[in-house]
Structure 1
Amino acid sequence: GSNDEANVISDNEVDSDNDEVDSDNDEANVISDDDNGSNDDDVDEEEEEVNESEEEDEEEDYGNNEVDNEDNIEDPFVSHLKYDLSLELLNSISNKVYDKQQAQWTTLGQLIIQIPKVEKDAQNSTKTLLGQNEIYATPHALPSVKEIDVEKCFVKSQLHNNIDRALFKHCQLDAFTPLQTELFSVINSYQDLFYPERTFNNAEQIRFVYCLHAVNHSLKTRLKVIHHNARLTDRFDIPDEFRDQGLVRPKVLIVAPFKDSALRIVRMITSILLSDASKANVINKKRFYDEFTGDDGCLPRKNPHPTDFEKTFVGNTEDTFKVGLSITKKSLKLYADFYSSDIIIASPLGLRMIIGAEGEKNREYDFLASIELVILDQTELFLMQNWDHVLHVMDHLHLQPKQTHGTDFARVRSWAVNGWTKYYRQTLVFSSLLLPPITALFSKKCSNYEGKVQVLNPKLTGTISRIVVKLPQVFHRIYCTSPLEAVEERFNTFVTKILPQYKPEIMNHTLIYVPSYFDYIRIRNYMKREDMSFVQICEYSKDNLIARARDLFFHAEKHFLLYSERFHFFRRIRVRGIRHIVFYEPPQFPHFYSEMINFMQEANQYRHEDGGSADNISVSVLYTKYDLAALSAIVTTPRASAMLLNDNPVQMFTTGE
Structure 2
Amino acid sequence: MAIDEASTVTTKLLTLLNVSATKVGKRKHPFEDVVGKPSERLNKRRAISFSDASGGPGEAEKTSASTTQSPEPASKEGEHEKGEEVPEEAEGDSLHNVDDLYESHFGAKSTLTTETVRNAVDHKSWATHRDKHGRLGPVITSFPDVDGAAKPTTSDGTAILDKVKQPLLDRQAKLPREVVELQNDLLSMLSTQRDLYITRTSLDMHQSMREAITLHALNHITKKRRRVLKNNERLAHASKAGTPAPEDVQDQGFTRPSVLILLPFRSFAQRWITALTAHTPSPTYQVENRSRFSTEYGLPQGAVDKLANAEPGTYPRDHVEMFKGNIDDAFRMGVKMTRKSVKLFADFYGCDLIIASPLGLRMSIEKEKSADFLSSIEMVIVDQLDALTMQNWDHVQFVFSRLNQMPKESHDVDFSRIKPWYLDGHAAYLRQTILLTAYETPETRALFNGSLNNVAGKVRTERLWKPVEVPEGIEQNFVQFDCTNPKDELDKRFQYFTAQLLPAILKSAVQSSNTVIFIPSSFDFIRVQNHFRKNLGVTFTVLSEYSTNQDISRARQAFFNGKKAFLLVSERFHFFRRYKLRGIRNLVFYGPPEHAQFYTEFLSYPFLDDGVEAADVMCKVLYSKYDWLRLERIAGTEGAARLIKRGES
Q: What range describes the TM-score normalised by the shorter chain of this pair?
A: 0.7 to 0.9
1:166 CA displacement: 5.0
Root-mean-square deviation (CA, aligned residues, Å) is: 2.6
- Give the drift of 1:413: 1.0
Cα separation, partners in 2 of 1:576 and 1:336, compared to 1, 3 Å: same
Aligned residue in 1 for 2:548 = 542
Give the direction of change, closer, same or farther, for the CA distance of 1:619–1:51 in structure 2 (3 Å limit). Answer: farther
Alpha-carbon offset, residue 183 of structure 1: 1.5
- Give matches, 1:451-462, under 5 Å: 451-459=457-465, 461-462=466-467
SS at match of 2:606: coil
Which residue in 1 is equivalent to 2:84? Answer: 57
Using the TM superposition, give the Cα deviation of residue 436 of structure 1 relative to its aligned residue in structure 2, in angstroms.
Answer: 1.4
Q: Which runs of 5+ in 2 are unaligned?
A: 1-60
**CA shift at 1:314, angstroms?**
2.2
Determine the structure 2 residue equivalent to 1:259: 266
Relative to structure 1, the CA distance from residue 101 to residue 117 in structure 2 (aligned partners, 3 Å threshold; closer, same or farther) is: same
Whether the 8 Å contact between 2:334 and 2:348 is mirrored in structure 1 is yes
- Alpha-carbon deviation of 1:370? 0.7
CA distance in 2: counterparts of 1:249 and 1:551, whole angstroms: 56
Match of 1:39 in 2: none
Report SS of the residue matched to 2:346.
coil
1:210 CA drift (Å): 0.6
Tell me the CA shift for residue 548 of structure 1.
Answer: 1.3
Return 5+ residue gaps in structure 1 as ranges.
1-25, 37-42, 124-137, 650-657
Task: Please report how far the alpha carbon of residue 184 of structure 1 lies from its aligned counterpart in structure 2 after TM superposition.
Answer: 1.5
1:91 corresponds in structure 2 to 119
Q: 1:76 aligns with which of 92, 101, 112?
A: 101
The one-letter amino acid paired with 2:592 is P
1:222 aligned onto 2:228: no
Equivalent of 2:170, from 142, 165, 173? 165
Letter in 2 for 1:344: I
AA matched with 2:273: V
Equivalent residue number for residue 255 of structure 2: 248
1:9 alignment partner in structure 2: none
User: By how many angstroms is 1:376 displaced?
Assistant: 0.7
**Correspondence for 2:306:** 298
Specify whether residues 458 and 381 from structure 1 end up closer, same or farther in structure 2 by C-alpha distance, changes over 3 A only.
same
CA distance in structure 1 between the aligned counterparts of 2:373 and 2:75, rounded to whole angstroms? 23
Do 1:68 and 1:154's aligned partners in 2 also have CA atoms closer than 8 Å? no
Task: Report the CA distance shift for 1:107/1:353 in structure 2 as closer, same or farther (over 3 A).
Answer: same
The structure-2 alpha-carbon separation of the partners of 1:634 and 1:337, relative to structure 1 and needing over 3 Å to count, comes to same
Structure 2 residue identity aligned to 1:490: R
Q: Which amino acid aligns with 1:604?
A: D
The offset of 1:630, in angstroms, is 1.1
For 1:625, give the aligned amino acid: K
The separation in 2 between residues aligned to 1:186 and 1:648, in whole angstroms, is 39
Q: 1:574: Cα distance to partner?
A: 0.8
2:32 alignment counterpart: none
CA distance in 1, matches of 2:606, 2:77: 61
TM-score normalized with structure 1 length? 0.82
Name which of 256, 269, 276 aligns with 2:276: 269
CA distance change for structure 1 residues 614 and 214 in 2, over 3 Å: closer, same or farther? closer
Matched residues in 2 for 1:214 and 1:392: separation? 23
Correspondence for 2:519: 514
CA-to-aligned-CA distance 1:625-653 (integer Å, 9 cap, x gap): 1211211111110111111112478xxxx
Give me the whole-angstrom Cα distance separating, in 2, the residues matched to 1:604 and 1:622.
26
Aligned position for 2:623: 623
Q: 1:173: Cα distance to partner? A: 5.5
Percent identical across equivalent pairs?
A: 33
CA distance in 1, matches of 2:68, 2:582: 46
2:510 maps to a residue whose letter is I
- How far is 1:196 from its partner? 1.3
Q: Distance in 2 between matches of 1:626 and 1:109?
A: 26
Tell which has more relative contact order, 1 or 2 (C-alpha 8 A, sep 6+). Answer: 2
**What does 1:362-511 correspond to in 2, within 5 Å?**
362-459=368-465, 461-463=466-468, 466-503=469-506, 505-507=509-511, 508-511=513-516
Q: Is the 8 A contact 1:296 1:314 kept in 2?
A: no
| Structure 1 residues 279 and 100: alpha-carbon distance in aligned structure 2, compared to 1, 3 A threshold | closer
Work out the CA distance in 2 between the residues paired with 1:421 and 1:639. Answer: 43
Q: Deviations over 1:474-526 (max 9, x none)?
A: 11112222322111111111100111012273311111101110110111111
1:514, 1:30 → 2: CA distance?
38
How far, CA to CA, are the matches of 1:49 and 1:413 in structure 2? 23
SS of 2:132 mapped into structure 1: strand
Map Cα deviations across residues 424-456 of structure 1 (whole Å, 9 max, x no partner): 100000111022111110110100000101011
Compute the displacement of 1:421 (Å).
0.8
- 1:556-595 paired onto structure 2 within 5 Å: 556-595=562-601
Deviation at 1:315, TM superposition (A): 2.3
Which residue number in structure 1 is paired with residue 20 of structure 2? none
Aligned to 2:29: none
Q: Which one-letter code corresponds to 1:634 in the other structure?
A: I
1:268 alignment partner AA: A
SS in 2 for 1:563: strand
Q: Secondary structure at the match of 1:28?
A: coil
Residue equivalent to 2:31: none
